[in-house]
Amino acid sequence: MKVVVTEFVTLDGVFQDPGGAGEFDRGGWAFRFDRGSEGDKFKLDELIAADAQLLGRKTYDGFAAAWPSMTDEAGFAEKMNSMPKYVVSSTLTEPTWNNTTVIGFDDVAKLRAEPGGDLLVAGSGRLVQALLASGLVDELHLMVFPVVLGAGRRLLEAGSSEAPFELLEARPSGQTTIMVLRAKRE
């Protein structure tokens, strides 16, 4: 499987609380911008290409609270709810969202080695940092929103491990920019 990290980020690299779940006072920033029909298609295509999701505990908790009750005509919610989900956690013991398996970080490399489509990682900042540091990220899909927040958790924090990527695609979509980057392997 290919590990694909997909994130909404601001110009200053903040990925925290794009939907406004109440994590911090500047949350909800992604909804102030139109990502365009191409952006919606990009997100749907990305999900369809995925065979499973890989999530950190905090992102899992947020998704598990919201997605089971969602429906839509495009099939996004159905795919989110039906696909396998792997949560990297040492504290979650009884996941409530269907098709969820709790794993340890060491299990990620084993999942990645399995044949199949993409293993999609959304949010999950600490997990993404660990994946990058371990060389387990194959692609980054970033939707960049034209706003500077000046505060909030950044996707790539100071002190992050060096991880070279090559740009595969960059294009505007609505008021955002879609960037697809592939890890450079030596």
Indicate the domain borders of the chain.
2-183
Residues 16, 27 contacting (CB under 8 angstroms): yes
Using a pLDDT cut of 90, give the percent of the chain over it: 88
Confidence of residue 156 (pLDDT cuts 50, 70, 90): confident
Write out pLDDT tens, residues 98-120.
999 999 999 999 999 999 999 99
Q: Which fold has domain 2-183?
A: Dihydrofolate Reductase, subunit A (3.40.430)
Inter-CA distances, 8 with 39, 109, 178, Å: 11, 25, 9
Contacts made by residues 39-42, CB under 8 angstroms, sequence distance 24+: 39/143, 39/173, 39/174, 39/176, 39/178, 40/74, 42/141, 42/143, 42/173, 42/178
Q: Which pTM was predicted?
A: 0.94
Query: Is residue 122 predicted with pLDDT exceeding 90?
Result: yes
What's the mean pLDDT in 77-102? 96
**Sequence letter at residue 8:** F
* Three-state DSSP state, 182: strand
